[in-house]
Structure 1
Amino acid sequence: MVRHVVRITGLALGSLLIACGSGDDTPLMQEEPQALPRLVHLEPGAEVGQGAPEGWTSRVVRSVPRLVSGDLASLPDSAGATATRFRTVITAEVAPPEPRRRPARLVRVGVGNAVPVGNRELVVTRHGPPEAFDSLGVVDRVVLIAAEAKLHRGRLIARSPTFALFQTPTVLVVEGKHREVNLHYALIVEPTTGALTTFCWPDPASDSGPIDAVLRLAPELSFDAGLDARVTRRIGPAPVSWSFAMTSPPPGDRIPLGFGDATALTSHTDVDRLERMLRSLAEQPVNTRRPPRRAKR
């Protein structure tokens, strides 16, 4: 039972795991150093199903897990329900520009796990809210606790007043195997307008060389996160535990990288260079487009 629960926890994070311009050409003046964006965990009970929760300007990403491949025939209904119950949400708060005084900036990045409650979708933690936590079964609650621990492993590994690079662990199908990798979300704010652009990329496979492309995500992306289920243990012929992994990163416009870009992408200590490189990518035409998969309500 414990092994079964532990394996299920892999999916909870794997299903991961704006503004106005001044209309004035006068240069924006920054009168004092601005604070760097901070990472926060969304408050229990925050409503995320219809867009940004209260106090936030953008729901950057919302993933809804769906079982799509693997050993589905052997998967009990209860395990499948737990595997698709939790949704991962990333939000952002952008402070708009103040004409002639201060450029727009990224104030904070929020992360959380949510579950459907009636016709709403609420962030849930072990502390509530009661209407969400009470809807979870015993196994769901064990998964939730493990998912919270994994969520706390997420970090902002590079940041400036207009940029944040969020790194979070997830389980992804890589070369046909389930592997824990880091997903990176780069949030970039245009200083003069407050417009938000988000890029995403996973760690490269160990033997596939450097990162060769990034994904530019659609604004307010909500997508179905396909899950692959694999039996990891049997007692006799009967499967007793499973692993779950995202079949691919979030969908987006694929933007190829040159060698210099790939090098900058891994140089998290040179924040200015990394931010400049990503801003230049945001201005490039898209070579390969793939429409985002819209998550079902």
Structure 2
Amino acid sequence: MDKRFLTWLSFTLTLLPALALAQPYDVAARPISVLRPGTIVDDGPPEGWNHLIVKSFPKVASGDVDKIPERDSQLASLMFTALAARTQQAADGTWQLTEIATGAGTSVRGRDMIVSSDTQQQLGADLGFFARMVLKEFDAKQTQVQYKTISRHFFVVDTIGAFRWNNENRLLPLRYALVLQPQTGQLDTFCWLMDADATGVSTTAVGSIHWLPKSLVFAPQLHVDYSKYNFLGIPSDTAFCSTNIPPGQVTMNIPADATRVLARPTLSVAEAQSLHGWFNQISTSMRPNYDRAAASDTGTTQR
């Protein structure tokens, strides 16, 4: 990334209020929607949604792979997850964000389908006992995905995932910022990992900010830590951890003075306005960089 841009980015942080966009912001945390069971998720927006943010198929790739049963490797790669957004055009021609939803699914009759533990059998997934247990865990995790900011043109959403960070398998929050251009309907998504305290509350943004490709499909590479299995041979929720977050079309270093505001567990209205202004400025001023990277990319599907 251009060093001049990093200097500009750091400087811009001190001017965030000046970049704020005048609109109401709801900063009360609440769960996001869940994709309807039976929804087919291919490599583009699911039916009823006009944006696929990310679809991920985890793959066991490193660590104590030889120490675990083959069944566990298969179960770790059985399910995919998806995040989709809906935008709507108003009567005056402008666009607004209306909803974002998450879901988990598996292959059913050769199609990637959203399922739940209550619907998988009738939808034709016919999962075995252990696979149903895995799906129940996915069902529970979906309730932990929360809005942190809602406005007409800006969403902040937090997910909780198992990530390999600083050579340790941990549960850490991953934050998404969605920025909509009201005149064109163009939606940009940024994401970054956050460190957390012992209770799981986010403390600082870590790594880099990833500006995601459109309709990103990728395979998180899972690192196995056999020490996270219990004495009965049952894996904990950190036995399999992703070594990578959704890959960006463009990535940006996080300025030192931005690490805390980007990871604030509860945003104030002023902070939400400022972050909206910041990401809106990035999505417009850095557009040529993003477009050049997209033009040179051979595709966003990584499986």
For normalisation by structure 2, the TM-score amounts to: 0.76
Which SS does the other structure have where 1:153 is aligned?
coil
The change in CA–CA distance for 1:254 and 1:217 in structure 2 (over 3 A counts) is same
Instruction: Determine if the alignment matches structure 1 residue 122 to structure 2 residue 113.
Output: yes
Greater shift in the superposed pair: 187-196 or 277-286: 277-286
Aligned to 1:165: 156
Taking the aligned partners of 1:256 and 1:146, their CA distance within structure 2 comes to 33
Q: Among all aligned residue pairs of Structure 1 and Structure 2, give the percentage whose two residues are the same amino acid.
A: 23
Between structures 1 and 2, the one with greater helix share = 2
8 A Cα contact 2:45 2:51, kept in partner:
yes
Q: How does 1:1-297 map to 2 (within 5 A)?
A: 39-98=32-91, 101=92, 103-130=94-121, 132=123, 134-204=125-195, 211=206, 213-232=208-227, 233=229, 240-242=233-235, 243-252=239-248, 253-259=250-256, 261-267=258-264, 268-269=267-268, 270-285=271-286, 286=289, 294-296=301-303
Deviation string 1:197-228 (CA, Å, 9 cap, x unpaired) is 0000010377x965463110001100111111
Taking the aligned partners of 2:107 and 2:149, their CA distance within structure 1 comes to 33
Look up the equivalent residue of 1:247 and give its one-letter code: T
Taking the aligned partners of 1:50 and 1:71, their CA distance within structure 2 comes to 31
Cα displacement (A) at 1:48: 0.5
Which SS does the other structure have where 1:277 is aligned?
helix
8 A Cα contact 2:224 2:240, kept in partner:
yes
8 A Cα contact 1:153 1:169, kept in partner:
yes
Taking the aligned partners of 1:247 and 1:241, their CA distance within structure 2 comes to 21
Taking the aligned partners of 2:205 and 2:148, their CA distance within structure 1 comes to 19
Look up the equivalent residue of 1:271 and give its one-letter code: A
Look up the equivalent residue of 1:180 and give its one-letter code: L
Runs of 5+ consecutive residues of structure 2 not aligned to the other structure: 1-21, 198-202
8 A Cα contact 2:61 2:223, kept in partner:
yes
Look up the equivalent residue of 2:69 and give its one-letter code: P
Taking the aligned partners of 2:59 and 2:109, their CA distance within structure 1 comes to 19
Cα displacement (A) at 1:187: 1.2
Cα displacement (A) at 1:151: 1.4
Cα displacement (A) at 1:170: 0.4
Output the aligned Cα RMSD.
Answer: 3.1
Cα displacement (A) at 1:185: 1.1
